[in-house]
Amino acid sequence: MTSTPPVRPSRPQLSREYVSRTMFHGSVNFEQQKKRAKDLHKALIKGKDSAITRLKKHHPKVLDLIASPLLLKLNDCQLVIARENNFSSWPQLKAHCDRLNLRKKQISEGITPQLDEVKTLHIRCGSDIKHGLDIAGFKGDFHEFSDPFCQGPLPNLEGVAFYTQRAEFIATTYGLPFQETLTRQKQAYDKLETLTAYDKVVLWFEHDSYDQLILAYLLNHIAGLSSSLPIELICVDHVPGVPDFTGLGQLAPEMLVWLWENQRAPLSKAQISLGKTVWNALRQGTATNLETIIAKGTPEIPPMVLALSRHLQELPDAETGLSLTQQITLEILYEKGTIKSGKLFSILMREREPLPFLGDLMFWSILNELVKAKKPLITYGKIAPDTPWPERKISLTNTGRSVLKGDLNYLHLTQTKRWVGGIKII
Residues 6+ apart with CB under 8 A from 26: 239, 241, 242, 245, 250, 251, 252, 255, 258
**What pLDDT is recorded for position 12?**
46
Q: Which sign, positive or negative, has the C-alpha torsion 112, 118, 123, 129?
A: positive
How many angstroms separate the CA atoms of 359 and 210, rounded? 9
How many CA within 13 A on the CB side of residue 269? Answer: 1
**What pLDDT is recorded for position 3?**
55
**What pLDDT is recorded for position 247?**
94
Q: Which of 341, 402, 345, 348 is nearest to 375 (CA)?
A: 402
Q: How far is CA 104 from the centre of its chain?
A: 26
> Going by CATH, does the domain composed of 324-424 fall within 1.10.10.10?
yes
**What pLDDT is recorded for position 61?**
78
Domain boundaries, the chain: 109-279, 324-424
How many angstroms separate the CA atoms of 48 and 87, rounded? 24
In sequence order, what E strands does 320-425 have?
Answer: 339-340, 378-380, 393-396, 419-420, 423-424
Number of Cβ within 10 Å of residue 29's Cβ equals 13
How many angstroms separate the CA atoms of 351 and 363, rounded? 15
pTM: 0.89
CATH code for 109-279? 3.40.1360.10
Q: What is the pLDDT along the chain (426 residues), one digit of tens a residue?
A: 345 667 776 544 565 566 667 778 888 888 999 999 999 999 988 888 898 888 888 887 777 777 676 678 899 899 999 998 888 899 999 998 988 888 888 888 888 778 999 999 999 999 999 999 999 999 999 999 999 999 999 999 999 999 999 999 999 999 999 999 999 999 999 999 999 999 999 999 999 999 999 999 999 999 999 778 999 999 999 999 888 899 999 999 999 999 999 999 999 999 999 999 999 999 998 999 999 999 999 999 999 999 999 999 999 999 999 999 999 999 999 999 999 999 999 999 999 999 999 999 999 999 999 999 999 999 998 877 788 889 999 999 999 999 999 999 999 999 888 999 889 998
